[in-house]
Every structure is written in C-alpha cells, then in structure tokens.
Amino acid sequence: MALFDLPLDQLQRYAPEVAEPADFAEFWAATLATAAAKPVLIDVRPEPSDLALIECWDVTFAGFGGDPIRAWYSRPAGVSSELPAVVEFLGYGRGRGLPHERPTYAAAGYAHLLMDSRGQGGQYGNGGDTPDPGATAYGGPGPVTRGLLDPAEFYYRRLITDAVRAVEAVRALPGVDPSRVAVAGNSQGGGLALAVSGLVGDLAAVLTTAPFLCHIQRAIEITDADPYAEVVRFLAVHREAEDVVRRTLSYVDGVSFARRAVAPAQFGVGLRDTVCPPSTVFAAANQYAGEHEIHVYPFNHHEGGEAVHVRRQLRWLRRRFFGAGSGF
C-alpha cells in the first residue's frame, strides 16, 4: 500500500476538533457505576499452560451487566511475590484462544491478564469463550455495527466496560501489585487500552498500537478497509441514519478518552495502515493528556513494527516499572 494519508510533518501536528457529546463524561460514569455494583471476580481455576515456565488460570469476571467474561491469567512459574500486571485486549474478530498462545508478558516477568472479547473469536486465531448476551438491539452483523442506532445499546459500550472491569479483576487476583497495572493492545485492543486509560485514572502505563476507534468520523471517510467499512456498508443501506450513527460513534471515540488520560503511554503506528489510518492514531496521540511517545513505521501497514515494536514496548515498560537501572 502506498502512502495515502497526511505527510508525516502534518501528522505530527494533527490535533483536530473531534465531536464529543455534552453528556460524554456522565454517560461513562453512570455506565461504570452500574457495573461496579457487582463483585468483579466470579471464578478462578488453574489451567494447564503446557509451558514449563508459565502458570495459568482460567478467570471469569463480571463485565457489563454482570455478564461473565472469560480471561487467561498467566505469570512466571514458581514466583509467589506480587508482580506488576499487564491487562491485554485483543484485535477485532479474535478471541482469547488457547492459554499458551500469548506468553510474552508472563515470560518477561509480569502477571498477565488476557481478556476475551465478548461475542467475537470467529474470524481469527483459535476462538473465544464469551458470548454477548447484550447483542439484541438492531444493527449490522459485525461488532462495530451491533446496536449502532443507540449509544446505550452499542456493542462497544459493553466491550469498553468489560475492559475497565478487567483492570478491576486483575487487581483482585493473587500475586498482583494493584498499584502497578498497565493496559496494552493492538488495533481493537489498542482502542480498548486507550479507552481504559481515559476511564481509569490510576494506571501505571498504557501500550496502544494502531488503535481502532480513534477520530472515527475521519476514518469512515478515508478508508475502505474493514472494520470501518462495515459502518460504511451499514449506512449505504440505512441512508437516513447517518446523524444517529455518528452520534453513537462519538461516545466511543479514542480522542475523547485520550484527552482524559494521564498514565504514561507509548503509541505505535504504520504510515501505510489503511485499517486504522495514521491520521486517526495521531489525532489521539497528539491530544493525549499524559506523558507519551509515538513510534512510527513509515513502510508498514497494520502490522506496524511487529517484533521490533514489541521489544520497544518491553524495554519501555520495564523502565516504567523498575526504573532506568533495570538493565536496559
């Protein structure tokens, strides 16, 4: 894919006005207060990881509406001390898969909670284990169009609430230092990490790569790639619903969450990314309220920096948790 978005020098200054509903803060405060009324942990049971150096547990916690959300909790085997934790969120269409699939954070010495995405898991990877009981409102077939005509019924209201509750769940698990919790994710997972950073005020760090759901109004204008193209196809059929749809999407825009986020953050972006266009990522990064940095991969698409970026994330995270003298 050739370069298609703004030049890099313009991207580095790009901080557009992004429409935010007047009741944005109240909407999310009320949503999270309702979720917090229920105890967060439902079930925790050992699960074989099939990896000699990593222990794993199958966790179920209460998400939006008290719905049971599945997750894998992993940590270095034989370590009983309280560890800093990373809560990881998944990309669009992917479920939590199998317990040995994502060993990076546990292998690096962290407690790791990998949240399943409700109602997803059928497009990539090895599936998921969490249904979406709330998927009853009218909308399109994909997650980004479920309940799109009403902010209260929109799929991402439920998924973002689940993500906030995942942070609460990891803090309640044994062997976790609750004062040192980071959130991380790529694509949809990056969008969730950004949303959580704006809703949870005491995170230790944020790792967000190619975040989905940022500057959404621009994204649906400049890319034909899914998942944003699912919104376009929905509006191609529901021609009179544009204003309603744009209003619904404004309640989950990552730029609005970024404006409220204070934890140190590291962003990553590929300049040829048509899935999450670079201007949408920079729109959030340039308005992120806390300390942050962004790593740019000029010749990469949605895959971004891959292992090179993961190495940067691990080294940055270790400095955040353990200081400059931590060996990197």
**pLDDT score for 117:** 98
187 is catalytic: yes
Phi, psi for residue 137 in degrees, rounded to 5: -75, 155
Report the domain count for the chain.
1
**pLDDT score for 328:** 42
250 is catalytic: no
Between residues 235 and 2, the one the model is more confident about: 235
Omega before 227 cis (within 30°)? Answer: yes
Query: Over the stretch 272-301, which tens digit does the pLDDT of each residue have?
Result: 999 999 999 999 999 999 999 999 999 999
CB 41 within 8 A of CB 71: no
CB 21 within 8 A of CB 247: yes
In the set 49, 74, 117, 187, the catalytic residue is 187
The DSSP bridge pattern shows strands 292-297 and 265-270 to be parallel
Tell me the mean pLDDT in the region 161-189: 98
Asked whether residue 163 is assigned to any structural domain, the reply reads yes
Tell me the mean pLDDT in the region 302-323: 96
Distance CA 54, CA 177 (A): 18
Asked whether residue 111 is assigned to any structural domain, the reply reads yes
Q: How is 91-112 classified by DSSP, letter by letter?
A: PTTB----TTS--HHHHTT-EE
Asked whether residue 2 is assigned to any structural domain, the reply reads no
The band of 323, judged by pLDDT with boundaries at 50, 70 and 90, is: confident
Tell whether the model's pLDDT for residue 325 goes beyond 60. Answer: no
Distance CA 192, CA 96 (A): 15
Asked whether residue 327 is assigned to any structural domain, the reply reads no
In the set 116, 132, 162, 273, the catalytic residue is 273
**What is the average pLDDT value for the chain, to the nearest integer?**
96
302 is catalytic: yes
Global confidence as pTM? 0.97
Q: Whole domain around residue 214: which residue ranges?
A: 8-322
3-state class (DSSP) for residue 120: coil
Tell me the mean pLDDT in the region 98-118: 97
In the set 112, 215, 292, 302, the catalytic residue is 302
Tell me the mean pLDDT in the region 100-119: 97
Q: How is 10-39 classified by DSSP, letter by letter?
A: HHTT--------TTHHHHHHHHHHHHHTS-
Asked whether residue 77 is assigned to any structural domain, the reply reads yes
3-state class (DSSP) for residue 326: coil
Query: Over the stretch 233-261, which tens digit does the pLDDT of each residue have?
Result: 999 999 999 999 999 999 999 999 999 99
Query: Over the stretch 110-160, which tens digit does the pLDDT of each residue have?
Result: 999 999 999 999 888 899 999 999 888 878 789 999 999 999 999 999 999
Asked whether residue 269 is assigned to any structural domain, the reply reads yes
CB 244 within 8 A of CB 149: yes
Domain with 219 in it: what CATH number?
Answer: 3.40.50.1820
Nearest by Cα to 104 from 316, 323, 322, 311:
311
Asked whether residue 328 is assigned to any structural domain, the reply reads no
Asked whether residue 3 is assigned to any structural domain, the reply reads no
Residue 51 backbone class (left: φ over 0; alpha: ψ -120 to 50; beta: rest): beta
